Structure 1
Amino acid sequence: MKVSAKTVAMYPTERKNTPLKSNRTKHNPTKLRSSIKVGSILILLSGRFAGNRVVCLGQLDSGLLLVTGPYKINGVPLHRVMQSRVQPTSTVLPLEGVDVSAVSEEWFKKPRAKAASTEEEFMEDAENKRVLAPEFLSSQKALDAFIMPKVAAIPNMKKYLKSKFALTKGQRFHEMRF
C-alpha cells in the first residue's frame, strides 16, 4: 500500500500539559467519626508517637484531630493527627469546657528551609534547632493543667495513658474490642 504525503500524521515532539476541568466547587469539611468525641482516648497507629494513648481535644478547621498525651504523662505534646491514623477506644475522659480556640494551625507547620549553597551554611542550618512558639508552650501547659485533675480522678487512668499499645504473638487487631 502506498502512503501519500497528505496522509502522514505529524505528531508534536513535546506534550502540552493542560489542566483537566473540574466541576467541584467547594470542599466539604471532614466529618468526625461517630466513635471519636472530645475526651476520647485514642491509640496512635503511625508516626513518631505510634502506640501511645492520647486524649482527643477536638477537631481543627482543617479536619485533623487535635490530641495531647498529656505531655506530663507520656511525653506526647499537642499534635495534629488524621482520623484514619488513630484507633478510638471506649474510654472517655469528661472534658466538658476544654478550650482549644487559642490553638493555631500555624504552630504545627514547619518553616520552609532555603537550600544551603556552601558547606558553612549547611553546618549552620544543622546547628540551628527549631524553636517552639511561646504561645504553643503556654497552651500546652494550660491544657495539661486542665486535663491532669480529670486523669487523677479516675483510678489507673494515668498508668493506662502511660502504657504503650502493642500486639503480641497470637493477638489479632481486627478481633479486638476497644
Structure 2
Amino acid sequence: MTRRSTVIVVGGPAGTGKSTQGELFAKNLNCPLIEGDDLHPKENVDKMARGQPLTDEDRWGWLKELSEVASTKALDENNESGLCVVTCSMLKKIYREFIKANAIQASELNFRFVFLYTTFEELVKRVESRKGHYMKSEMVKSQYDIMEIPKDEELGEAIPIDTTNKTPAEIFEEIITKVKFT
C-alpha cells in the first residue's frame, strides 16, 4: 500500500508564529516549506501595506494558488517525506475547505490544518516587534475579528493550538503530539 501524501497548513492571524512553526516542521520532518505570504499577488500586498484588510474576493485566487503549489510539492515523487508545509492565515473554516477542495489530486492527499491563536493584545505586541513586514499592527484587529478557531466538526483535520506564553519549541512539541499525519 502506498502512503498518502500530506499537506500541513500552519495558520492563524498575523503574529502567531506561522513562519517559525513552518520552519520547524521543514527542518524536523525534512519536507518542503512554502511561505504563503510569498504567493500573494502584488495587489494584495499593496492593499495590506496601505492598512486595508483583504476581502474574501481578494483571497480566493491566492488560496487557489497556495493549494495547487502545496499539493503539487506534497505529491512530487522526488519529495521523499510525502509532506509539504505551507503557511497561510486560513482564518475562516470556508478558507480551509477551499484550500482542500482546490488541491491538485485532492483525493490522493491528507490535509492537516494547524491553527495557531493567542490573545489580541499578544498579537499586537508581536506584530509591532517585527521589522520590514507589510502586515502592520493596525491590521491585526481585522484578522482577529474574522478568525474562526476550528471547532468540533473540524477536529482531527484541524487542530487549534493556543500559543499564549509558550516558546516556539513548546508550541512545536504540542503540535507534533496532536497532529495525525495519516
State the TM-score, normalizing by the size of structure 1: 0.23
Relative to total residues, which structure has the larger helix share, 1 or 2?
2
State the TM-score, normalizing by the size of structure 2: 0.23
Instruction: Give the greater-gyration-radius structure (CA).
Output: 1
Higher relative contact order (CA 8 A, sep 6+): 2
